[in-house]
Amino acid sequence: MVTTRFAPSPTGRLHVGNVRTALLNWLFARQSGGRFLLRLDDTDVTRSSEVFAASIRADLDWLGMTPDGEARQSARLARYDEALARLAASGYAYRAYETPEELDIKRRLRLARGLPPVYDRAALALTEADHLRLAAEGVAPHWRFRLSPDLPHAWDDLVRGPSRIDPASLSDPVIRRADGTWLYLLPSVVDDIDMGVTHVIRGEDHVTNTGVQLQMFEALGAAPPAFGHAPLLAGSDGKLSKRLGSIGVAEFRAAGIEPLAVKALLARLGTSQAVEPVADEAELIAGFDLSHLGRATPRFDEAELAALNAKILHQLPYAAVRDRVPLDEAAWTAVRGNLSTLSEAAQWQAVIEGPVPVPDLPPEDRAYLAEAAGVLSALRFEPNVWRALTDRLKAHTGRRGRALFLPLRLALTGRAEGPDMAGLLPLIGQPAALARLQAASQASG
Ligand code: GLU
C-alpha cells in the first residue's frame, strides 16, 4: 500500500513551504488510496514542544489533511539504538572523537592541499584498545555512517528524474552526537522502514540526504522508498524570503482564505498545470502528477491566493459552506459571486434582513424612487421581479444604466456596490423592498 509521510519538526508553526510538502504527500497518498502519516521529528528535545505539535495537527485538520496515523521520534529511540548497533556490527557505523575545532583544522589543511574538505576517516584507524582508553578517560565518541561507493547512490527521482550523488564528495555523516542525541538522517530511515513508507516527497534541500539515506536503507537490509524532491518555494519577489517562513495557516485564516484555495494553489504552483478555481479537492487529487513539477523555483504570491480564493467562493456550492455561513441556500447563491472571503457573506445576510441605511439622494432621485415603489407595489413578486421592475422603470422614465440602477441599489441595500440585484431583491421581499424605496424617496436631501 502506498504510504507517504509528512515529517516536520515541532519546533515552530508550519509555514507555507511545509504546508506544500504536506499537501504533495497527501495528494499522492489520496490518489492511490494509500496512507498519509504524520511523523514528528522531535529528537531535538530542547527545541521541540507540545504546543507546536498541537498546532501542526490543528493546521493539518483545518486544511482537511488529517493524517491516517502519527509517530514521533522521541518515542522510538530504542529502535535507533538497535539500528546503530547493526550498522556498527557490519562496519557501516564507526566511532570518532574529533572536536569541531580539530575538524576545522583538518578541513583547512585539506583545502590548502587542493583536496575536497571531507572527513579523512582517521577514526577508522583506532583500535579497540584506543576506544577503551578514551572511554576510561571519559571521552565519549560520536558516531559516523561510513559512505561507500559500493552502496546504492543513484535513484530515479519522481520529480527530477535520474539522480545521483558521489559518496566520495561527502564526509561520512555524523549520525549520533557524543551526548547520545540523534541527528536527523538515521532515525528518519529507521522510521521510514518501520512505518512502511513507500514514497518520500520533500524539498530539494534534501537531495544530498537522499543519496546518504539510500545507503542507510541498503546497509540496514531494507528496500528504499521512492524519492521525489520539489523545488523550494520563493516569495513573489523570487527570493527564498524570510517572509514566506512567517506565512502559515494562521495568516490564511485571518485573511479569510479557504483551505481549498490553499490546496488549489499549492498543488499546481510550479507545475505545468494551470492554477484553477477547482470546485473540490477531488479534482486536485485526480489531476495530481509529480512529474508535472518543473525545476524552476515556484513563486508563492499572497495576492494570487486571495484572487483564487475569491474565484473559488464564487462557485462554491452551498453544501460546502452551510455550516459556516448564516445564510440559506438562496441567499448564498445570490451573494457568493460578490465575495472575496467567506466572512463577508454575513454582511449580505444583514443587508437582506435589514434595516439598511437610508441614502441621502438628490430630489430627482427621490422622485424616481417614489415611482419605483409605485411600480413595485403593482408587480407580482416573482423570481424575475428585478428585471420586471427595471424594464418598466426604463420605459417610464427613460433612465438607463447607472441612473436607472444605482438609486435602486442604494435604496434597497444601503450600498453602492454588491451582488446582482436580481438575486437579492426576491430575498429582501416585497414589504421590506417597498419600505426601503419609500424611506429613501422621503429622506430629506
Ligand atoms: N524533519 C525533516 C524536515 O523537516 C524531514 C525531512 C524528510 O522529509 O525526511 O526537513
Q: What is the pLDDT of residue 326?
A: 94
Please tell me whether residues 436 and 384 are part of one structural domain.
yes
- Of 397, 399, 379, 377, the C-alpha closest to 388 is 379
Q: Whose CA is nearest to atom 6 of ligand 1?
A: 7
Average pLDDT, the chain: 96
Taking the CA of residue 6 as reference, the ligand 1 atom at the shortest distance is: 8
**Does residue 225 have a pLDDT over 60?**
yes
Q: Whose CA is nearest to atom 4 of ligand 1?
A: 8
d(CA 118, CA 106): 9
Q: Whose CA is nearest to atom 3 of ligand 1?
A: 8
d(CA 186, CA 37): 19
Q: What is the pLDDT of residue 107?
A: 95
**What's the pLDDT tens digit per position in 230-243?**
999 999 888 877 78
Domain membership of residue 413 (yes or no) is: yes
Q: What is the pLDDT of residue 243?
A: 83
Domain membership of residue 93 (yes or no) is: no
Please tell me whether residues 379 and 309 are part of one structural domain.
no
**Does residue 445 have a pLDDT over 70?**
no
**What's the pLDDT tens digit per position in 187-209?**
999 999 999 999 999 999 999 99
Instruction: Give the mean pLDDT of 37-45.
Output: 96
Instruction: Give the mean pLDDT of 303-327.
Output: 96
- pTM, two decimals, is 0.92
**Does residue 56 have a pLDDT over 80?**
yes
Q: Please report which helix (H) or strand (E) contains residue 144, including its range.
A: strand 142-145
- Going from the Cα of 70 to the center of ligand 1, the distance in angstroms, rounded, reads 15
Domain that includes residue 426, residue range: 354-442
Q: Whose CA is nearest to atom 7 of ligand 1?
A: 7
- Going from the Cα of 178 to the center of ligand 1, the distance in angstroms, rounded, reads 22
- Going from the Cα of 353 to the center of ligand 1, the distance in angstroms, rounded, reads 51
Domain membership of residue 259 (yes or no) is: yes
Is the C-beta atom of 225 inside 6 A of ligand 1?
A: no
Domain membership of residue 268 (yes or no) is: yes
Among 5, 9, 232, say which to mutate for ligand 1: greatest number of ligand atoms within 8 Å of CB: 9
Domain final residue pick, 273, 302, 320 = 320
Q: What is the pLDDT of residue 55?
A: 98
Is the C-beta atom of 17 inside 6 A of ligand 1?
A: no
Domain membership of residue 267 (yes or no) is: yes
How many domains would you assign to the chain?
2
Domain membership of residue 14 (yes or no) is: no
CATH of residue 401 = 1.10.10.350
- Going from the Cα of 148 to the center of ligand 1, the distance in angstroms, rounded, reads 23
3-state helix, strand, coil in the chain (%, to 5): 50, 10, 35
**What's the pLDDT tens digit per position in 144-161?**
999 999 999 999 999 999
Is the C-beta atom of 8 inside 6 A of ligand 1?
A: yes
Q: What is the pLDDT of residue 18?
A: 97
Q: What is the pLDDT of residue 239?
A: 81
Is the C-beta atom of 327 inside 6 A of ligand 1?
A: no
Contact 403, 342 (CB under 8 A): no
Q: Whose CA is nearest to atom 1 of ligand 1?
A: 8
Q: What is the pLDDT of residue 259?
A: 96
d(CA 81, CA 100): 24
Please tell me whether residues 363 and 435 are part of one structural domain.
yes
Domain membership of residue 103 (yes or no) is: no
Domain final residue pick, 320, 345, 374 = 320
Taking the CA of residue 213 as reference, the ligand 1 atom at the shortest distance is: 9
Instruction: Give the mean pLDDT of 238-260.
Output: 91
Please tell me whether residues 430 and 377 are part of one structural domain.
yes
The proportion of the chain whose per-residue pLDDT surpasses 70, expressed as a percent, equals 100
Is the C-beta atom of 188 inside 6 A of ligand 1?
A: yes
CA 289 distance to own-chain centroid: 17
Please tell me whether residues 365 and 438 are part of one structural domain.
yes
- Of 198, 199, 206, 204, the C-alpha closest to 160 is 204
**What's the pLDDT tens digit per position in 68-127?**
999 999 999 999 999 999 999 999 999 999 999 999 999 999 999 999 999 999 999 999
Please tell me whether residues 311 and 371 are part of one structural domain.
no
Contacts of residue 156, Cβ cutoff 8 Å, sequence gap at least 6:
162, 163, 226
CATH of residue 304 = 1.10.1160.10
Domain membership of residue 423 (yes or no) is: yes
Please tell me whether residues 434 and 370 are part of one structural domain.
yes
**What's the pLDDT tens digit per position in 340-377?**
999 999 999 999 999 999 999 999 999 999 999 999 99
Backbone CA torsion sign across 390, 396, 401, 404: negative
Is the C-beta atom of 9 inside 6 A of ligand 1?
A: yes
Neighbours of 187 (CB within 10 A): 24
Taking the CA of residue 18 as reference, the ligand 1 atom at the shortest distance is: 4
Contact 333, 423 (CB under 8 A): yes
d(CA 232, CA 205): 8
Q: What is the pLDDT of residue 219?
A: 98
Please tell me whether residues 362 and 435 are part of one structural domain.
yes
